[in-house]
A = this chain, B = another copy of it.
C-alpha cells in the first residue's frame, strides 16, 4: 500500500519549473494583483457524480418519474420568474416613492429659501438626505453582507462558470441587496438597478429550487432531487435570465445573457425553461405594475427600463468609436479599485466613502443646476416635428412638477416627459436639473426623446464630464449598484453633445459607451433591441458594440472581467489561450496526487481531510492490489463532501454487521447535507474508529473522466469546459494516476502582452 501526499499547488517546494521560483519569491508583496490567482475560491461540481447510489436511484425511476421531474422543473422555473418579477416590482415602487418624497422635500425647501437667500441650507438638506439613504444602504452592505456590494453580475458570472463565491446565493444576500439598491438609487448615486436585479433573480432561483432555506432552517421536503450543483446551476441560469428580463423587459436578451455567461453545454430543453422563467418574470412585473398604476390589464410596462419606442426610419448609419472612453472608464475604475482594496478595507471607512460620494454627487448636481441656469421655454409647438412615441408610465405616478409637453392625440399610450422647473421662471424649465435631478433611467429617456434644442452644448458637456467622473467613482462602492444605466446615460449625453440629433445616433452612442465598459456584446444587442422595441437598429447597434469592444479590448478588459481579475477568481474563459498548444496535461497537472484505496483506513482519511495545508476536494480512488510502490490504477473519484458525510454517518466496514438493522446510507443523506457540508473538525472520530476501514466502492464515482499525460492543454480545456468538470484525472498508459487537473491549473494560463503568461497562485 502506498500513501502519497498530494502537494498543494501553493505549496511549491517540490515544483520543478523554474518560473515557480519567481512566484515563491513574491507571494505577499502585492496583496491583490491581476497576476495572481486566488486559491480561496472552491469550484462547483457541474459533472454528476454517478456513483452506485445515484445509478440505483435513476434505475428505480420509471419513465413517468422522469416526466414528473421535468414538470417539476417547469413549475420551479415559473415560480422563479414570478418571484423575480415581484421583487423587481417592489424595488421599483419603493424607489419611486422614496425619490418622490425626497424631491418634494427639497423642492419645498428651495422654494422657501430662494427668496430668503439661504440656498446653502437647501444644498445641505439635499446632501444630507442623499447621504442618509446611501448610509443606510452602505451600512447594511458593509456590516451585514459585503458580498451584496456592487452589481452582482461578476459574482453570478463566476457562479455560472463554476466558481463557488461564498454566500453569493444566500437569502440574507438577497435581502441586503434589495434594500441596498433601493437606498442607493433613492440616494441619487450614479447607479442603476439592473445588475442587482440579475443577482436577485439568481438568489431566488438558488433558494426556490432547493425546496428549503438553510438560513431559515426550514426544509419543505420538496425538490430534493435538485440538491446538487448541476441542477442548481440550471436554475440559477433561469433566475439570472428572469432578472435581466425583469430589468429590461427583454426575455430573449435574458436567455442569451444566461447562455453567454453560464451554459457550457447547450441543451434545448434547458434553454426553453430559461425562456419560460424570463417570460413569466416580465409578465409578472408588467401585471403588478399596471395594477399599481391603476391600469390593470394594460400591460404597458414590460420592464423596469424602457427607452420609449423609436419609430423613425434609419437612413444613415453613424458609428462612433466610443470604445476609448469605455476603456478610460475601466482603467480609472481599475486603479480606484486597487486603491480601495489596499486602503479602504474597513467597513466603517467603506460606509464613509459611500456617504461622501452621495454628498459630492448631491453637491455637484446642485452646483451645476444652480450655476448653469440653462432655462429653456416649455413649448407646445415643437412636438409636431418630433415623431417619437414616448411612454414613461412610471412618472405618471409621481407627484412631481410634471410638464406634459408631448401627448400624442389619437393614441392610447400616455406620453410624458419630465421637465423640472427648478430655479426657472414659470413656463420655462431647467435643462441641467432635467439631466441631473432624475433617476438615471428617466434622464436617459429624456435625452432620447426630448425635442432637438432642449439642451445647450455647454450644459451637456459639463453634465457629461461630471456624470462620467461620478459614475467611475461610484462603481465599486460598498453599495448595491448597477453600471448599466449610468453607462447608457453617459453615452446618450455624448450623443446629444455632438449635436447629432437622430435618435439612432443617441442609441448607438449609448450602446457604445455601455459596450465599451461592459463588453457583453451579444446579449447586450438583444437587450437594447428589445428595450427599444425595434429590430431596425439591430445592425447599427451591433456594429457599434463590436467596434467598441475591439477598441476597448485593445486597452483593457471589460469592467466585469476587470473586477473578476482583481478578485483573482479562477475564471475559465471560452477557450484555452490560443498559443497554449505547447502545454500538455503533464505540465499542467498537480502532482503527486493524494489517492485513497478502495477500502481505506478511517484514520488516514481523517488525517488527509484535516490537513489544512492541502485543502483538497477530490481524491482519486485506486485499486489496492498493487504490491510495490507504484501508483495504483484508477478506479474512481471521491469528493471531500462525500467523505465527510460518510464519516458523519460512520459507514465503516466493521460496523456493517451491526448496521444490518440500521438503514443503508442513501442519496438522501448526501442531499440533506448539501450544500453546506460540515467541516472535518466538527466530526468526532474516536481512536478506535480510526482503526476501522471504510469501503468507498459504493460512493465514489466509478467512471471519472481521464486523459493521458500527452493531451494538449486546449484539449483538456475543452473537455473540462464542455462537461463542467471540477477534477480531471491524468493517467499514464497503465491507467495509473499520475496527476490531477483542477480549475486553478487551467485558469493559471492566460494571454498577456508577450504571449502566454502564467498567473501566480496565492492563498489570498
Contact = CB atoms under 8 A, between A and B. Distances in A.
Interface string A702-731: 110111101110110011011100000001
Given A579-B66, A635-B733, A265 B718 contact: yes
A260 B271 contact: yes
Centre residue among A251, A535, A706, A718 by max chain B CB count within 10 A:
A535
A538 B441 CA distance: 24
B59 A272 contact: no
Contact of A535 (B256, B266, B533, B731): B533
Give the number of times this chain occurs in the complex, counting copies.
2
Contact of A710 (B300, B703, B734): B703
Interface string A467-479: 0000000000000
A268 B574 CA distance: 7
Contact of A522 (B268, B574, B714): B268
Contacts of A205: none
Interface stretch (A164-172, A276-284, A494-502): A276-284
Given A302-B535, A581-B55, A733-B735, A266 B276 contact: no
A557 interface: no
A539 B283 contact: yes
A538 B267 contact: no
Nearest to A716: B703
Contact of A268 (B48, B260, B313): B260
Contacts of A313: 298-300, 412
Contact of A59 (B61, B298, B546, B582): B582
Interface in A255-311: 256, 259-260, 263-269, 271-272, 275-276, 279-280, 282-283, 297-300, 302
A50 interface: yes
A261 to B, nearest CB: 9
A525 interface: yes
Interface string A596-634: 000000000000000000000000000100000000011
A63 B534 contact: no
Contacts of A530: 535
A240 to B, nearest CB: 15
Contact of A703 (B251, B582, B712): B712
A582 B269 CA distance: 23
A497 to B, nearest CB: 27
A542 interface: yes
Contacts of A48: 715
A521 interface: yes
A402 interface: no
Contacts of A751: 63
A715 B703 contact: yes
A315 interface: yes
A705 B719 contact: yes
B723 A521 contact: no
A59 B578 CA distance: 9
A573 B308 CA distance: 42
A266 B265 contact: yes
A249 interface: yes
B542 A276 contact: yes
A578 B60 CA distance: 12
Contacts of A529: 252
B266 A266 contact: yes
A597 to B, nearest CB: 15
A260 B259 CA distance: 12
A700 to B, nearest CB: 12
A62 B579 contact: yes
Interface residues of A, number: 86
A633 B260 contact: no
Nearest to A410: B387
Contact of A723 (B260, B279, B714, B718): B718
A314 interface: yes
A534 B533 contact: yes
Contacts of A712: 50, 55, 703
A741 to B, nearest CB: 13
Interface in A525-541: 525-526, 529-530, 533-536, 538-539
Nearest to A316: B297
Contacts of A263: 266
Interface in A47-69: 48, 50, 55, 58-59, 61-63, 66
Contacts of A702: 708, 710
Contacts of A264: 265-266, 722
A265 B735 CA distance: 28
Contact of A279 (B268, B538, B634): B538
A293 to B, nearest CB: 14
A688 interface: no
B272 A522 contact: yes
A552 to B, nearest CB: 15
A525 B48 CA distance: 32
A381 interface: no
Contacts of A578: 61, 63, 66
A575 interface: yes
A229 B92 CA distance: 50
Centre residue among A252, A267, A269, A633 by max chain B CB count within 10 A:
A252
A275 B542 CA distance: 9
Given A264-B265, A267-B574, A299-B314, 20 more contacts: A55-B581, A62-B579, A63-B755, A250-B535, A251-B535, A252-B252, A252-B538, A259-B271, A265-B266, A266-B266, A268-B574, A275-B542, A283-B539, A298-B313, A533-B535, A634-B733, A635-B733, A705-B705, A719-B723, A722-B723
25 contacts: A48-B715, A59-B582, A63-B578, A63-B751, A249-B535, A250-B535, A259-B271, A263-B266, A268-B574, A269-B575, A279-B539, A282-B539, A299-B536, A302-B535, A302-B536, A633-B733, A634-B733, A635-B733, A703-B707, A703-B710, A703-B711, A703-B715, A705-B707, A718-B723, A722-B723
**Top 3 closest pairs, chain A to chain B, by CB:** A66-B578, A58-B581, A703-B711
